[in-house]
Amino acid sequence: SFPGYFLHERKARQRETFRDVPPDRLLIETDAPDQLPPEETRSAECGTRRKFHPLTDAATGRAINHPANLGLVYEGLAEFLGEPTETLAVRVEENFQRLFG
């Protein structure tokens, strides 16, 4: 399962491993509330910079990850794999349904 945290530039080596994941086994996650994605992610597909959706931990006041960042993860991985986000989303949905029914 590909987490948004791997969209960080410093995680290039980890991202590369996802090129070898069979297409019928790929899933996507936010890893919320842990492992924030990069604060700002460039999406070539939409030509804009998207910011992540932070949540604030009430106890510490620090930003934590939010489930709304799932779209950002889809866009980042689709761009990395060189395919449209919609195509990736359909494939991941099929994989999810096959695994969890």
| pLDDT tens-digit map of 79-89 | 899 999 999 99
Q: Is 41 in contact with 80 (CB distance < 8 Å)?
A: no
pLDDT at 45: 45
Whether pTM exceeds 0.85: no
Q: Which domain holds residue 69?
A: 2-100
Domain count, the chain: 1
pLDDT at 44: 46
Mean per-residue pLDDT for 42-67?
71
Residue 52 has pLDDT above 70, yes or no: no
Assigned token pair, 1: 């399962």
What percent of the chain stands above pLDDT 90? 39
